[in-house]
């Protein structure tokens, strides 16, 4: 990966389906360039193994910056046929899966707030380092899922 940072938004519904949305460049404002979830959605549904989880998450991460953020409803809203992100994520847990060039991989669980946004749980961040062993990513994902609320 040529970028120094990549992030995937993970949303998990009540049936334990995992929706992964990679980040990319957001030039919509034309004033600054930020990263934002792009219009690309990966879905993993039960039954899945730890190997399936790890391959799924790494694949989503590798797709960061593969396109720019597009105006309009995001990938989840389009998938569910709704107009607002808030409607699409109703009842879902949220986790950030990230990689950066200096610290490696980490998971950040989130807590759902009453006004429909997610707050990162910085105190529960799970750091895996640059070279996690087989099974560590899946284990960390499951731990982050337990720490997240919807």
Residue 5 CA to residue 77 CA, distance in Å, equals 25
Of these ranges, 31-45, 46-60, 65-79, the one predicted with the greatest mean pLDDT is 46-60
Question: What is the C-alpha separation between 41 and 146, in angstroms, rounded?
Answer: 23
Does 32 score more than 70 pLDDT? no
In DSSP terms, 43 is beta-bridged to 19
Q: Which residues contact 24 (CB under 8 A, 6 or more apart)?
A: 35, 36, 37, 38, 40, 64, 65, 66, 67, 68, 69
Tell me, what's the pLDDT at 34?
64
Q: How far apart are CA 44 and CA 17, in angstroms?
A: 6
Domain extents in the chain: 5-147
CATH class (in words) of the domain with range 5-147: alpha beta
């Amino acid at each position: 990966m040529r970028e120094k940072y990549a992030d995937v938004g993970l949303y998990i519904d009540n049936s334990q389906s995992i929706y992964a949305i990679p980040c990319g460049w957001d030039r919509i404002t034309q004033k600054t360039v930020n990263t934002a979830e792009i219009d690309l959605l990966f879905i993993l549904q039960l039954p899945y193994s730890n190997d399936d989880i790890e391959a799924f998450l790494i694949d989503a991460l590798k797709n960061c910056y593969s396109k720019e953020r597009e105006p309009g409803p995001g990938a989840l809203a389009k998938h569910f046929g709704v107009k607002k992100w808030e409607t699409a994520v109703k009842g879902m847990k949220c986790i950030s899966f990230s990689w950066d060039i200096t610290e490696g991989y980490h998971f950040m669980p989130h807590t759902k707030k009453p006004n429909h946004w997610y707050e990162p749980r910085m105190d529960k961040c799970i750091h895996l380092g640059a070279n996690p062993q087989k099974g560590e990513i899946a284990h960390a994902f499951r731990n982050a899922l337990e720490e997240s609320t919807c």
